[in-house]
Amino acid sequence: MKNIIYKVFVLLCMVLLTNCNDEEFLREDPPAEYTTENIYSTSQQVEQTLIKNYHFIRGRMTTSAAFKFNGTDMFDVPTIRLGDSFNDYSKISPLTGTFNGIYADSYRIINRANLALSAADYPQIEWASEEEKEYIVAQARFFRAYAYLTLGELYGGVPIVTEITDVPKYDYVRATRVETYQYAIDELLAIEDDLPIIPTSRGRISRGAAQHYLCELYLAKGIELAANGEQSTANEAFGKSIEYGDKLIEGPYSLIQTRFGTRKTETEVYYGNGFTLETSNVIDTCETNYYWDLFQEGNQDIPENTESIWTAQVDYEAYKIIDDNSKLPYARNYGPVFRANSGGHWDSNSTNEDVGGRGITAICPTFYTRDDIYSGKWADDMRNSQIVFRRNIKGNRPDSPYYKKYVPWSEIYLNDKDKTLCYPISCKISTDKFTGIDEGENKSNLFRNDYIIRLAETVLLRAEAKQRLGNKQGAADDINLLRERAQCSYLVTAADVDDNFDLILDERARELVYEECRWNTLLRMGGNIAVERIRKYAYWPVAKSTLTFDYNLWPIPQEVINLNIAEPMQQNPGWENR
C-alpha cells in the first residue's frame, strides 16, 4: 500500500513539473495586497478601530496617568524617584520624552479616527441602518475633537490632519491655537445631535460628553482671543461656554447630594490589620458620606449617579482573562508608603487597607494639595473628611506608643524622605475593600470605572467663563454649588474671586484631585499662571531655581520639528534653543 501511494505521489509531481513554466512558477504573485481600502469589509471592523481609541484613552488616563499632574503645583515625585521628577528645568527641553509621547499619542487618536471615517464610506461596508453609521461617524469626529483639544491646550496651534496618508509628509503647517480650538468646536457641533443623550453602552460617549468639551473649548478659545486683544470676540466665546455648561448643569445631569449606590446603607467602614474584621484586627473606623459613594466600586455608571458624564471602563473579569490594563493602579502608583516611615509606627510589611494598600508612591502630593487648600476656614469640607481624605493615620505596630492611636504628623515628618512617602490617603486612590484578594491580587489596584468627565468639572468651567466675562458673583455662585454639596461652613463671595484665578484653581484641586489633567488646566488658562504656581507650590526647590524663563505652552517636540524638513516649524516661546 505504501508503495502505491509513493508511485502516485511521484507521478503527480512529474505532471506538475512538466506542465509549469519555471519563471511563472517562481514569480511572486499574491492574490491581494492589503490597503486601507480593502482591509475593511464589515461595519464591525470600522467600529473596532474606534474601540481601540476608547481603550487607548483609558490607558492614558489611568495606567499612564502621571502626565496629568506630575511637576505641577499639585504633584511631584518622592525622594526615592527624583530621577522621574518633572520640575528640574535644567533637564527639561523639547527633547524630553513626555512632550513627544503626549503629542504622538494625540495624533494616534486622530489617525484612528481618520481611518474609521474613511472606512465608513467604503462601498463594501454594509450598515444595519443609517443611524448605526451616523453614530460611528459621530464617535470618530468626537475623538478628533478630543485630541485637538488636548493638543491645543498643551502645545497651542498644531497641524490639522483630517485624512489618512500613505506616503511620508514633511511639510506640515501649524494652525493657530484659535484655529485648532475652532476645528475641534466645529467637529463637536457637527455631531452633537447625532450622539445619544444616554450612552448606548457603558463607557461610550454621549451628547453630554460633547457638550462638556464644547464648554471647555469655547472657554479656551475665549482666553486665547482675549490674549490676542480680541476681547469682544472672546466675550462671545465665553458666552457660548456658559451656554453649553447650562445644557448640562440645568439639564439631564445634577450633582450628587444624597447617599446612593452599592454601599449607601453602610454608615461606617473598617480598616483592618489583616484580612478579617475581628475586633482585634480593626485599626480604625470611618463614617461614610455621599461624596465617598462617588468613588466606590460599581457606582460610576448606574442611573442613580446623575453626575457621571463619561467613564473609562474597568472590568475585573476581563483583567483576569485578557486585558491586563483593565485596572486602576492607583493604590500602587499614588499610595503612600507608611511602612517605610523612620518613626517605626507601622509594620514594615504592612500593605493593608489601614495604610492605603500596597503603595509605592510613584507620585506624591505637594503640601499645597495635602494641606494648604484646606487650611483655616477651608478645613470644614466633606472633601476633607476622614473617609474622603484620610489625613489621620493610626499606628499598627503593637510595640509603638501610637498603636491604634493617631500618629501626629510631627512624628511622621522626621526627614525629607518621610515627607514624600507619607501623606493623606484619598478615597479616589484606595479602598477598604480591595477586589481579588482571594484570587492573588495584592492591594495594588482598584477595579472600578473611572471618571473622564464628571459634572463637577463642568460647573468649574462655567464658573471660570462667568468670571472672565466679569461676573464674579456668578462665578462665586457656581463655586458654591460644589461647596454647598460638600457641606462647607464657608461659602465664597464675589470678593473671594481673585483676578489670578487662584480661587478657581484651589477649588479644582479640592474637587478634582487625582482626576483632572492639571497640566491642561494650567496651560489653558494662559499668561504666566502655570509657571508662577509651579514656582510657588512645587514640592522640590529645584523648580524655583531652574525655572528661570516663562512659558505658557509645552514645547513642540524637537523630533517633530526636525522631521518637518520641507516647512520650518516654529518652536513655542520660552523653549527656543533649550
Task: Identify the domain containing residue 535 by its residue range.
Answer: 1-194+517-578
What pLDDT, on a 0 to 100 scale, did the predictor assign at position 14? 36
Cβ atoms of 209 and 197 closer than 8 Å: no
Comparing C-alpha atoms, which of 248, 361, 318, 321 is closest to residue 58?
318
Q: What is the pLDDT of residues 25-40, one digit of tens each?
A: 344 444 455 566 777 8
| Residue in this structure with the C-alpha cell 493610626, named with its chain if needed | 394
Cβ atoms of 516 and 508 closer than 8 Å: yes
| Residue in this structure with the C-alpha cell 487648600, named with its chain if needed | 373
Q: Are 279 and 362 within one domain? A: yes
Average pLDDT over residues 520-541: 97
Q: Are 418 and 524 within one domain? A: no
Comparing C-alpha atoms, which of 179, 95, 72, 228 is closest to residue 558?
95
- How far is 108 from 531, CA to CA, in rounded Å? 29
What pLDDT, on a 0 to 100 scale, did the predictor assign at position 276? 60
Q: What is the pLDDT of residues 444-501, one digit of tens each?
A: 999 999 999 999 999 999 999 999 999 999 999 999 999 999 999 999 999 999 999 9
What pLDDT, on a 0 to 100 scale, did the predictor assign at position 84? 87
Work out the pLDDT band at 274, boundaries 50, 70, 90: low
Residues facing residue 210 across a β-bridge = none
**Region label for 156, one of left (φ > 0), alpha (ψ between -120 and 50) or beta (otherwise):** left
- How far is 478 from 485, CA to CA, in rounded Å? 11
Residue 7: inside a domain? yes
Q: Is the pLDDT score of 360 beyond 90? A: yes
Q: Are 422 and 522 within one domain? A: no
Using CA atoms in the order 263, 334, 383, 460, what is the torsion angle rounded to 10 degrees?
A: -110
Q: Are 58 and 179 within one domain? A: yes
Residue 471: inside a domain? no
Cβ atoms of 567 and 547 closer than 8 Å: no
b/e 500-516 (16+ beta carbons within 10 angstroms → b): ebebbbbbbbbbbbbbb
What pLDDT, on a 0 to 100 scale, did the predictor assign at position 32? 52
Residue 259: inside a domain? no
Residue 77: inside a domain? yes
Q: Is the pLDDT score of 5 beyond 80? A: no
Work out the pLDDT band at 15, boundaries 50, 70, 90: very low
Average pLDDT over residues 311-335: 95
Q: For the ranges 36-45, 48-57, 394-403, which has the lowest average pLDDT? A: 36-45
Task: Give the C-alpha distances (Å, rounded to integers) separating 464 from 36, 311, 501, 519.
Answer: 44, 24, 8, 17
DSSP state letters, 474-501 = HHHHHHHHHHHHTT-S----GGG--TT-
Average pLDDT over residues 153-163: 97
Q: Is the pLDDT score of 57 beyond 50? A: yes
Q: Are 137 and 12 within one domain? A: yes
Is the four-CA dihedral 149, 151, 153, 157 of positive or negative sign?
Answer: negative
Which run of H or E residues covers position 75? strand 75-76
Chain centroid to Cα 390, Å, comes to: 23
What pLDDT, on a 0 to 100 scale, did the predictor assign at position 239? 98
DSSP state letters, 243-311 = HHHHHHHTTT-----S--STTTT--EEEEESSSS--GGGEEEEEE--HHHHTTSTT-SSSTT-TTEEEE
What pLDDT, on a 0 to 100 scale, did the predictor assign at position 476? 98
Is the four-CA dihedral 487, 251, 245, 239 of positive or negative sign?
Answer: negative
| Residue in this structure with the C-alpha cell 503612600, named with its chain if needed | 336
Q: Are 169 and 282 within one domain? A: no
Which run of H or E residues covers position 17? helix 2-18
Q: Is the pLDDT score of 339 beyond 60? A: yes
Residue 425: inside a domain? yes
Alpha-carbon Rg for the chain in angstroms = 27
Q: Which of 438, 457, 480 is the last residue of a domain?
A: 438
Q: How many domains does the chain have?
A: 2
Q: Is the pLDDT score of 281 beyond 90? A: no
- Residue 561's CB is within 10 A of a number of other CB atoms, namely 15
What pLDDT, on a 0 to 100 scale, did the predictor assign at position 278? 67
* Eight-class DSSP state of 174: P
Q: Are 426 and 528 within one domain? A: no
Higher-confidence residue of 22 and 524: namely: 524
Residue 393: inside a domain? yes
Q: Which of 414, 438, 462 is the last residue of a domain?
A: 438
**Averaged confidence pLDDT in the chain:** 92
Q: Are 21 and 128 within one domain? A: yes
Average pLDDT over residues 322-340: 95
- How far is 459 from 251, CA to CA, in rounded Å? 12
Cβ atoms of 228 and 266 closer than 8 Å: no
Q: Is the pLDDT score of 266 beyond 90? A: yes
What pLDDT, on a 0 to 100 scale, did the predictor assign at position 11? 37
Average pLDDT over residues 199-227: 96
What pLDDT, on a 0 to 100 scale, did the predictor assign at position 6? 36
Q: Are 5 and 133 within one domain? A: yes
* Eight-class DSSP state of 402: T
Q: What is the pLDDT of residues 62-109, one digit of tens each?
A: 987 778 999 999 999 999 999 888 999 999 999 999 999 999 999 999
What pLDDT, on a 0 to 100 scale, did the predictor assign at position 114? 97
Residue 199: inside a domain? no
Give percent of the chain with pLDDT exceeding 70. Answer: 92
What pLDDT, on a 0 to 100 scale, did the predictor assign at position 275? 54
Q: Are 422 and 523 within one domain? A: no
Half-sphere exposure of residue 187: CA atoms within 13 angstroms, side-chain side: 29
What pLDDT, on a 0 to 100 scale, did the predictor assign at position 576? 95
Q: Which of 399, 419, 438 is the last residue of a domain?
A: 438
Q: Are 288 and 424 within one domain? A: yes
- How far is 50 from 119, CA to CA, in rounded Å? 11
Chain centroid to Cα 519, Å, comes to: 11
Average pLDDT over residues 279-295: 92
Q: Are 159 and 280 within one domain? A: no
Residue 49: inside a domain? yes
Average pLDDT over residues 53-66: 89
Task: Give the C-alpha distances (Å, rounded to integers) separating 60 from 64, 152, 312, 452.
Answer: 5, 18, 10, 11
Average pLDDT over residues 186-201: 94
* Eight-class DSSP state of 566: T
Q: Is the pLDDT score of 200 beyond 90? A: no
Q: For the ranges 18-22, 189-193, 340-344, 419-423, which has the lowest average pLDDT? A: 18-22
What pLDDT, on a 0 to 100 scale, did the predictor assign at position 494? 98
Give percent of the chain with pLDDT exceeding 90. Answer: 87
Show the cell assigned to 474: 456668578
CATH code at 34? 1.25.40.390
What pLDDT, on a 0 to 100 scale, did the predictor assign at position 20? 43
| Residue in this structure with the C-alpha cell 500593605, named with its chain if needed | 351
